[in-house]
Chain A
Amino acid sequence: MLIYWASDTYSITLFGHTYFKFFPNWFYNALNIPKRLSEGMAFHFLLMWFFAINGVVYVLYTLISGEWRELVPKRNSFKEAWLVLLHDLHIRKMAPPQKKYNAAQRIAYTAIIIMGFGSLITGLAIYKPVQFNNLTWLCGGYHAARIEHFVLTIGYVLFFIIHVVQVVIAGWQNFQSVITGFEVVDDKPKRTIKPAVSDEK
């Protein structure tokens, strides 16, 4: 696999043979990428700092505040996450227990942190493969590290799409609670008829 971010015409005109292209030309053109490699690299090497600092601050906050307890998957999370998936796909009616985060969220939100850490490591491995040759070795070499870095990026895109769709589906109340940290549940009138078992919502 050749991950090739520079303008494709460049490589084709020089060699006359076509490489496997991960994206077709219309994709590059839609994003206005061709001939902007230097600009892309410059953006990358600035925004990487925000990525790394943001990640470190988030992880530290989660650890210090104790919020990690709500985020790390529990032993039964993997089984439960399956039930969440079935529920979300409208295959199964009853939703598994939802505390602050359900099992699928726990897995997803922990995975994204591990992915972020992975991007940091693979990123350093391809950014300074000589100075950080140990990291590059850890990633299985320069070429492997590039592929890993790229696959992780695709992973974020998928995460982002699913995440945003889920937030939209969950509705305004949920979004509000994401910002404020609490959700107002006006349960006064329901109190007498509320079944004791369900702790849905």
Chain B
Amino acid sequence: MKSKKPKKPFTIEQKINRRTFISFGTFAVLSGAAYGGWSWLKNSPKETRTVTAGAKAPLRRALNKTELAFRRVFNNNNLVKTYPKERAAKVVRYNSGIGLQTKPDVENWQLQVKKQSGEVMNITLDQLKALPKTELVFDFKCVEGWDQISYWGGVKFSDFIAHFNLTDQAAMPYVGLATPNKKYYVGIDMPSAMHPQTLLAYEMNNKPLVPQHGEPLRLIIPVKYGIKNLKCIGSMVFSNQRPPDYWAEQGYDYYSGL
């Protein structure tokens, strides 16, 4: 391929060489780019710690961009599949007790709701139980791969917001929940929280929640993986910024939406 200005048309031999050179050149460049791209990704540094942490920086960017792309298809009319009560597991899988290390004082438990103004509301379980109860039998999904049909009862998050005049707070893009001991905490985007199947649940299999499953009140949010379904809610905050999230600090997707 030395002749840069061929005056005569190429011979067959030259054409073969030329095309082979171009093809193999392209092949080598693309292979090199693929290999280079992979090793760049593999050796890329961890993200700087913010609300999220623990993931490689480019992968975190990809997770966030992917969330934005799929958010376009998010619609509160898309409901999780529900099942008859008989299909629900009698023995509900217990997977994690993070945040439950200290036993909550169930007798005197109150849900602490912090408004943006700084005003704090304390809501008792009886106040919540006085609201219409919504039941949900759905396939609970874990990031680890298992799923299980389970049966929950509680107050719709959106009913809760409406009843306690928190509509202005729910106009903010995020809500954060934490256990009473603050060891486990999740951040939820408001559209997902306001999804008609999101519950502040106080019953499992038609009985009050047991300690392992988040007594006295837990979040059941079918549009998210299990890691977002916080057990034993102690406090709730509304925010314009993403609230801290336990697993997002361990490299998981902040949104973990389904």
Contacts and interface: CB of A to CB of B under 8 A. Distances in A.
B144 interface: yes
Contacts of A136: 81
A142 B81 CA distance: 10
Contacts of B63: 42, 45-46
Nearest to B94: A14
Given A42-B251, A179-B23, A129 B145 contact: no
Contact of B145 (A6, A43, A182): A6
Interface string A1-37: 0111110001100100000000000000000000001
Contact of B81 (A11, A46, A133): A133
B164 interface: no
Contacts of A156: none
A132 interface: yes
Nearest to B192: A130
A41 B253 contact: yes
A164 to B, nearest CB: 15
Contacts of A5: 144-145
Contacts, number: 103
B19 A37 contact: no
A184 B16 contact: yes
Nearest to B42: A43
Interface in B69-110: 70, 73-75, 78-81, 94-95
Interface in A141-186: 141-143, 146, 176, 179-182, 184
Contact of B23 (A2, A3, A43, A181): A181
Contact of A42 (B20, B56, B141, B258): B56
Nearest to B71: A131
B62 A45 contact: yes
B139 interface: yes
B78 A43 contact: no
Interface in A105-133: 127-133
A5 B16 CA distance: 49
A129 B95 contact: no
B72 to A, nearest CB: 10
B253 to A, nearest CB: 7
Interface of A is mostly: helix
Interface string B26-65: 0100000000000001000000000000111011101100
Contacts of B54: 38
B250 interface: yes
B59 A42 contact: yes
B228 to A, nearest CB: 13
A39 interface: yes
A42 B55 contact: yes
Interface string B1-34: 0000000000000001001100110010000000
B124 interface: no
Interface of B: 16, 19-20, 23-24, 27, 41, 54-56, 58-60, 62-63, 66, 70, 73-75, 78-81, 94-95, 139, 141, 143-147, 222-223, 247, 250-253, 257-258
11 contacts: A4-B146, A39-B56, A39-B251, A45-B66, A46-B66, A131-B70, A131-B74, A142-B81, A143-B147, A180-B23, A181-B23
Which 6 residue pairs of A and B lie closest in terms of their CB atoms, listed nearest first? A38-B251, A42-B59, A46-B62, A6-B144, A180-B23, A38-B252
Interface of A: 2-6, 10-11, 14, 37-39, 41-43, 45-46, 49, 127-133, 136-137, 141-143, 146, 176, 179-182, 184
